[in-house]
Amino acid sequence: MRAEAYQQVDNRLAEEPVYEMKSGAEMIIECLKREGVDVIFGYPGGAVIPIYDALYDSGLKHVLSRHEQGAIHAADGYARSTGKVGVVIGTSGPGATNLVTGITNAYMDSIPLVVLTGQVPTSYIGTDAFQEADITGITMPITKHNYLVQRTQDLPKILKEAFYIARSGRPGPVLIDIPKDISYDVAPFYYPESVSIPSYQPTIEPNPSQVMKVAKTIEQAKRPLILAGGGVISSGAETELLQFVEKMQIPVTTTLMGLGGFPASHPLWLGMPGMHGTVTANRAIQNADLLISLGARFDDRVTGKIERFAPKAKIVHVDIDPAEVGKIIPTQLPLVGDIKHVLVQLMKKTSPGDTIEWIEQLQQWKKEKPLRYKDSKDGIKAQYVIEQLSNYTKGDAIISTDVGQHQMWTAQYYKFEKARTLLTSGGLGTMGFGLPAAVGAQVGHPDQKVVCISGDGSIQMNIQELATIVQQKLPLKIIILNNSYLGMVRQWQQIFHDCRYSCTFMTGPDFVKLAEAYGMLGIRAVKKEEVTEVLEQGMKHNGPVIMEFMVEEEENVFPFVPPGASLDEMIEGE
């Protein structure tokens, strides 16, 4: 009997799979490979030394930033421009807290990131140990989900879930906090093939009866308008949007996050709406009888005074996140689902309505009220520089921006023809985003022109990443529109505070010499006649370059809807 019992045990053991033993750090690297990750952005430190040791001969590319905020914005720029999940590593304590702005930035703009942070050993947690910070507690409201890993054998399942959560439904950042002993400990490695999270089931296909209701409403509308947001781009629905618009003959306005989701050269595109939107786009919203929002969340910069937003329109709100539908603007027809899937269903069920008269009216407004600025004979207007860049690239470049006047002028005067070609901080408005985001985009697109447009204020917030650019041999083009002010704040001080320019004038370094100090080309234009020559020289240069343009100091961004005012109350400017 004893021999039979031993044989049964042997047989059972033979049937069970034999899992390879790996350290936690080795598991992390193996999981990243299995998720198709080819590049990681990060900054090493004590709590992540075992992960960096496993990374050493892994074959994965690592981009060493000069600050953790630079690393996470680079991962963000990589994700926005490629459509993949960006991965970033930071150590415990200050390394993790330095990632917080970047995590919030990605959360506000629905960008998929997996953020790996080191933590002090499990036995030290809660003791105020050296470089200890409760990063899961800190990031709970700014992540789609986060984890504090308690057992090494749980790492594969957690990483599998993290990538699934980050990229599915409404994308967003997921943080995994990994104590140092968890990275060192050894356990059997098993990577699950699939993920099942009962409490997280994004709705992809729209409700058929709601689709029919929306289709009938579109057919009956005389003045329909599509408001396309970032959801169009994250869904990959730009082709379906173009087909739908051309079939139904419905004009389109794209939010800041939606720029590039519909070609700027198309006659049915009206420009960007909202605070610095075009007159035609804002008038269209205020006069439409049907507003179809696709993947937009009615940000206050778009709506202005909510009570007077789109007063004549029935609202159709399409979004993959049901929490957004009807949150800001009362919605008559909600439709939850992935934008691409929704548009495919709507195209099957909808017939074109009569919109000829409406389109003629909008075309008339476009002729009467184009974007304009008072040009200068000798001085350089920032708008002119961006127009010349747009003409030079013809939309065939990836553009990153920082935040401020230059961001709005870029949205207004650069013609975005393709999705994922504008990288900008929409929701959080993060100065210092543009330069590292461009690093990530250039890493993801090594053969494409990548241009960072910044101001002399914003560029200095993460200027240390110039060293990253040089070390990585990235041929980035950096345009600095230097007006010696924090321009947007100064503009508000001029208009609302009687020109009391409190603490907005600023001096900066000699950017040409700074470029040379970092090992890149630096060139400058101080007169209008020099703009084209500097742009051509910089854009044709094989390596990284800073192009500094000394623009007029007190130029303002128009049109301008004052905060709290309705879209009808826009200031059109000179």
> Same domain for 361 and 389?
no
What's the CATH number where 361 sits?
3.40.50.1220
> Same domain for 428 and 455?
yes
* Assigned domain for 565 exists: no
Domain boundary (337, 368, 399) is at: 368
In sequence order, the 6+-apart residues with CB closer than 8 A to the CB of 248 are 218, 224, 350, 352, 353, 355
In sequence order, the 6+-apart residues with CB closer than 8 A to the CB of 517 are none
**The pairing of beta strand 545-550 with beta strand 333-336:** unpaired
CB atoms within 10 A of CB 130: 11
> Same domain for 270 and 161?
no
Looking at residue 8, what is its pLDDT?
66
Instruction: Yes or no: say if 420 and 260 are a contact pair by the CB < 8 Å rule.
Output: yes
* Assigned domain for 376 exists: no
pLDDT tens per residue across span 245-287: 999 999 999 999 999 999 999 999 999 999 999 999 999 999 9
162-195 exposure pattern, b = at least 16 Cβ within 10 A, e = fewer = bbbbbbbbbbbbbbbbbbbbbbebebebebeeee
Lowest mean per-residue pLDDT among 15-29, 304-318, 364-378, 435-449: 15-29
- State the burial class of residue 305 (Cβ atoms within 10 Å of its Cβ: 0-12, 13-18, 19+): middle
> Percent of the chain having pLDDT more than 90?
96
Q: Does residue 499 have a pLDDT over 90? A: yes
Can you read off the two tokens belonging to residue 15?
């049937």
Give yes or no: 130 in active site.
yes
Residue type, 218: I
Domain boundary (138, 157, 188) is at: 188
On the question of a cis peptide bond just before residue 322, with omega within 30 degrees of 0, the verdict is no
Looking at residue 377, what is its pLDDT?
86
pLDDT tens per residue across span 394-439: 999 999 999 999 999 999 999 999 999 999 999 999 999 999 999 9
Can you read off the two tokens belonging to residue 503?
């603490």
* Assigned domain for 404 exists: yes
Looking at residue 491, what is its pLDDT?
97
* Assigned domain for 485 exists: yes
Q: Specify the pTM.
A: 0.95
How far is the C-alpha of 352 from the C-alpha of 117, rounded, in Å? 52
* Assigned domain for 556 exists: no
> Same domain for 221 and 147?
no
Q: Does residue 310 have a pLDDT over 90? A: yes
In sequence order, the 6+-apart residues with CB closer than 8 A to the CB of 29 are 51, 54, 55, 58, 60
What's the CATH number where 434 sits?
3.40.50.970
Can you read off the two tokens belonging to residue 407?
């961001």
> Same domain for 111 and 219?
no
- Of 30, 35, 68, 161, catalytic: 68
Q: Which domain holds residue 322?
A: 208-368
> Same domain for 161 and 250?
no
559: left (phi over 0), alpha (psi -120 to 50) or beta: beta
Looking at residue 376, what is its pLDDT?
87
Domain boundary (127, 155, 188) is at: 188
Looking at residue 378, what is its pLDDT?
85
Instruction: Yes or no: say if 567 and 286 are a contact pair by the CB < 8 Å rule.
Output: yes
Give yes or no: 180 in active site.
yes
Angle in degrees, 0-180, between the axes of helices 382-393 and 405-413, rounded to the nearest 10: 40
> Same domain for 166 and 313?
no
What's 18's DSSP letter?
Answer: P
Place of tokens 């207007």: 381
Q: What is the arithmetic mean of pLDDT over 431-456?
A: 98
Higher local confidence (pLDDT), 388 or 19: 388
Q: Which helix (H) or strand (E) holds 92?
A: none
- Of 257, 408, 461, 488, catalytic: 488
- Of 7, 8, 21, 130, catalytic: 130
* Assigned domain for 571 exists: no
How far is the C-alpha of 76 from the C-alpha of 437, rounded, in Å? 6
> Same domain for 358 and 392?
no
| Number of domains forming the structure of the chain | 3
Can you read off the two tokens belonging to residue 17?
């799979």
Overall size of the chain counted in residues: 574
Looking at residue 15, what is its pLDDT?
62
Residue among 280, 296, 486 at smallest CA distance from 370: 280
Q: What is the arithmetic mean of pLDDT over 213-233?
A: 98
How far is the C-alpha of 349 from the C-alpha of 347, rounded, in Å? 6
pLDDT tens per residue across span 189-217: 999 999 999 999 999 999 999 999 999 99
Q: Does residue 534 have a pLDDT over 90? A: yes
Average pLDDT across the chain, whole number: 96
Can you read off the two tokens belonging to residue 507?
């001096």
- Of 131, 361, 388, 464, catalytic: 131
> Same domain for 296 and 268?
yes
CA atoms within 13 A on the CB side of 153: 5
**Helix-, strand-, coil-residue percentages of the chain, each rounded to 5:** 45, 15, 40
> Same domain for 134 and 240?
no
User: In DSSP terms, which residues pair with 145 in a beta bridge?
Assistant: 174
How far is the C-alpha of 511 from the C-alpha of 456, rounded, in Å? 9
- Of 160, 180, 381, 477, catalytic: 180
Q: For residue 427, how far is the Cα from the chain centroid?
A: 9
> Same domain for 474 and 510?
yes
User: In DSSP terms, which residues pair with 254 in a beta bridge?
Assistant: 228
Q: Which helix (H) or strand (E) holds 388?
A: helix 382-393
* Assigned domain for 263 exists: yes
Instruction: Yes or no: say if 275 and 560 are a contact pair by the CB < 8 Å rule.
Output: yes
For residue 410, give the 3-state DSSP assignment.
helix
Q: What is the arithmetic mean of pLDDT over 23-35?
A: 98
Cα Dmax for the chain = 103
In sequence order, the 6+-apart residues with CB closer than 8 A to the CB of 357 are 222
Place of tokens 């809660």: 126
Q: Does residue 5 have a pLDDT over 70? A: no
* Assigned domain for 468 exists: yes
Give yes or no: 131 in active site.
yes
> Same domain for 357 and 390?
no
Outline where 170-295 has alpha helix (H): 180-184, 208-220, 230-235, 238-248, 279-287
